[in-house]
Amino acid sequence: MGLYSILLSLLLLSGCALPTPIGKISSPREYNYVSEHEVTDSSQRKNGESYDSPRFLSCDKTMHPYTGNVEIAKETFLFALMASNAYRVEAQFDIPGWKLVKHYRGALSGNYESAFQADLYERKQNNVITEVSLVFRGTDSGVDHTANFALWWPWSKSRIPSQYQIAERLAYKIRNLYPNAKLYFVGHSLGGGLAYHASWNIDGAITYVFDPSPRLWVDGTPAKGRRIIVREKGEILEYIQFWNHLISDNEESYNFISGSAVREHNMYYLARGLLLLSAMHNSELADRIMEDNLGCSRYKTHQPLTNKVRLCERSEPQSEPFVGQARSPYIENS
């Protein structure tokens, strides 16, 4: 039974969406998230074996011995928070300087449906949009099981799954909408595979992926750009990357939590670990986010945020189906 569960989890997480006939699909839980971040007292957990409590959810600077590059954590933690927010099932992070402006969801027209979802963030300087981040959501089997059951067969390349097609088209659309802005592609799990796929032919983009699916439907050499892979050591997709190793500028593994390979695949936990590690190593932005999101007063080295953007208020962001060759069977007004 244990082996069956592991194999099923690999199928669900690795990211090959099987097309299924059009039918009724569950509405996505857009706003069914935990309202507050958990903050624990790590001083009560002096036994190193208990760090999976998890210790990094505290406001304490004391952390169990970790592996992984601190500078990569400081470079990627902000985008890890975006990837965590994309699931809408954990407490949301207010991200200073960035505004969530649009939520895409939809399916290709024709005889197949897709559980594709992505968030679009903008960052402005002097009222000019200078950076945009396209964040692809990963698999949520509890919501998408009728349209997002995964197939993992390394030699099956006869058909590009619909979510990958949508991701590629949306990437071109965003690049054309923001020709002068720095462009980031971000994702976790299946979303990481989608981000990699979307970035393949876009010159100059920066791609940050977390515990990504290694499945890609691409040929040739990737376009120029920075690609960083971040993993939780021991997470379930780490064991299958040998089938199709992703090309990257840097790949880092961290050991923020212990437990089952499925539990270690949790994006929220990875984001919290990267955030705390960055705050411990003099990132003023991480300090600010720790204080304003978690109330960690010992990190208070700045003035509180004003006019914070609450990312999940129903008035924002705009929600739209991906247009062109795409449609959505379950659009709701947010």
Annotated domain spans of the chain? 2-18+68-277+315-327
Is it the case that residue 110 has pLDDT exceeding 60? no
Q: Which of 239-243, 287-291, 298-302 has the lowest mean pLDDT?
A: 298-302
Over residues 306-325, mean pLDDT: 43
Collapse the DSSP code of 54 into the 3-class scheme (helix H, G, I; strand E, B; otherwise coil) and give the result: coil
pLDDT digits 0-9 by tens, 66-81: 778 999 999 999 999 9
Is it the case that residue 150 has pLDDT exceeding 50? no
C-alpha 186/C-alpha 285 separation (Å) is 19
Q: Which of 34-48, 227-241, 277-291 has the lowest mean pLDDT?
A: 34-48
Name the more confident of 88 and 141: 88
Q: Provide the pLDDT for residue 148.
A: 36
Highest mean pLDDT range out of 45-54, 100-109, 201-210, 226-235? Answer: 201-210
**Hunting for tokens 């040929």 — which residue is that?**
219
Highest mean pLDDT range out of 12-21, 143-152, 207-216, 242-251? Answer: 207-216
Over residues 170-189, mean pLDDT: 96
Name the more confident of 176 and 155: 176
In 10 A of CB 283, how many CB atoms?
A: 20
Q: Provide the pLDDT for residue 259.
A: 67
The amino acid at residue 190 is L
Helix (H) or strand (E) holding 120: strand 116-125
Is it the case that residue 61 has pLDDT exceeding 70? no
Q: What is the DSSP letter of 303?
A: P
- To the nearest whole percent, how much of the chain has pLDDT over 90? 32
Q: Which of 164-173, 193-202, 211-220 has the lowest mean pLDDT?
A: 211-220
**Hunting for tokens 């009728």 — which residue is that?**
146
* C-alpha neighbours within 13 Å on the C-beta side of residue 151: 15
Helix (H) or strand (E) holding 14: helix 2-14
Q: What is the DSSP letter of 58?
A: B
Q: Provide the pLDDT for residue 184.
A: 98
Is it the case that residue 89 has pLDDT exceeding 60? yes
Query: What one-character-per-residue DSSP string does 243-279 give?
Result: GSPPP-SEEEEE----S-TTGGG-HHHHHHHHHHHHH
Name the more confident of 102 and 140: 102
Q: Provide the pLDDT for residue 313.
A: 34
Q: What is the pLDDT confidence band of residue 1, given thresholds at 50, 70 and 90?
A: very low
Instruction: Enter the tokens of residue 136.
Output: 């692809």
75, 228 Cβ separation under 8 angstroms: yes
In 10 A of CB 268, how many CB atoms?
A: 22
Collapse the DSSP code of 131 into the 3-class scheme (helix H, G, I; strand E, B; otherwise coil) and give the result: strand
Collapse the DSSP code of 93 into the 3-class scheme (helix H, G, I; strand E, B; otherwise coil) and give the result: coil
Q: What is the pLDDT confidence band of residue 64, given thresholds at 50, 70 and 90?
A: low
Q: Provide the pLDDT for residue 318.
A: 59
Instruction: Enter the tokens of residue 227.
Output: 């690609």
Q: Provide the pLDDT for residue 161.
A: 78
Q: Provide the pLDDT for residue 212.
A: 85
Over residues 25-33, mean pLDDT: 41
Instruction: Enter the tokens of residue 36.
Output: 């507050």
Q: Provide the pLDDT for residue 282.
A: 86
State the chain's mean pLDDT as an integer.
71
Report the topology of domain 2-18+68-277+315-327. Rossmann fold (3.40.50)
Over residues 243-251, mean pLDDT: 71
Helix (H) or strand (E) holding 194: helix 190-199
